């Protein structure tokens, strides 16, 4: 397999570029691995993983918003946007401006909720798929 690694890398890189050009023109993704995170460190190698999640507030309940594709964003884009603004808000980097932008994004993608909560969820990737998975939640801000 080692002798094919360079060829597979080059093939993947070229196909990703072709997919990028095709998607910019408005067509569907040609190469299914284009949007996958192939060249990053898998989260299974980390002791813990942090993710920022939005929760929607209804009249009598709080519902975790699942990152599913909508008209303008795919699921990965939504996760990255929430994660980016969440980290900035938690680190107090232009906190009010980032809260405003995240609220605009939340209202655009999930308008059915009356309010939103941003949580930081910490878990151990090695526990995924086990009978019990511990997720620690920390409220970052109410939007």
Identify the pLDDT of residue 103: 93
113: confidence class by pLDDT, cuts 50, 70, 90: very high
pLDDT tens for each residue of 77-91: 898 999 999 999 999
Identify the pLDDT of residue 55: 94
**CA torsion, ordered 12, 17, 18, 20, to nearest 10 deg:** 120
Asked if residues 31 and 70 have their Cβ atoms less than 8 Å apart, the reply is no
Does 116 have pLDDT greater than 90? Answer: yes
End-to-end Cα distance, the chain: 50
- 119 strand-pairing partners: 53, 139
User: Token pair of 110, please?
Assistant: 């999930």
- 44 strand-pairing partners: none
What is the overall mean pLDDT for the chain?
83
Identify the pLDDT of residue 32: 65
pTM for this model (two decimals)? 0.67
Q: What is each CA distance from 37 to 60, 116, 133, in whole angstroms?
A: 38, 28, 24
pLDDT tens for each residue of 46-99: 678 889 999 999 988 899 998 887 778 888 889 899 999 999 999 988 999 999
Task: Say which residues have a Cβ less than 8 Å from residue 66's Cβ, sequence separation at least 6.
Answer: none
**Helical ranges in the chain per DSSP H:** 5-24, 75-90, 95-109
How far apart are alpha carbons 10 and 29 in whole angstroms?
A: 18
How far apart are alpha carbons 137 and 63 in whole angstroms?
A: 14
């Amino acid at each position: 397999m080692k002798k094919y690694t360079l060829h597979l890398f080059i093939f993947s890189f070229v196909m990703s570029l072709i997919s990028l050009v095709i998607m910019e023109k408005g067509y569907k993704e040609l190469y299914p691995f284009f949007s996958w995170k192939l060249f990053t460190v898998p989260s299974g190698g980390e002791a813990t993983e942090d993710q920022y999640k939005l929760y929607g507030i209804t009249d009598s309940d709080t519902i975790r918003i699942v990152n599913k594709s909508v008209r303008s964003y795919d699921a990965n884009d939504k996760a990255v946007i929430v994660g980016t603004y969440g980290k900035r808000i938690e680190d107090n980097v232009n906190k009010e401006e980032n809260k405003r932008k995240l609220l605009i994004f939340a209202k655009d993608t999930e308008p059915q909720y009356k309010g939103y909560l941003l949580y930081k969820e910490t878990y151990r990737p090695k526990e995924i798929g086990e009978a019990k998975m511990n997720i620690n939640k920390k409220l970052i801000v109410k939007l």
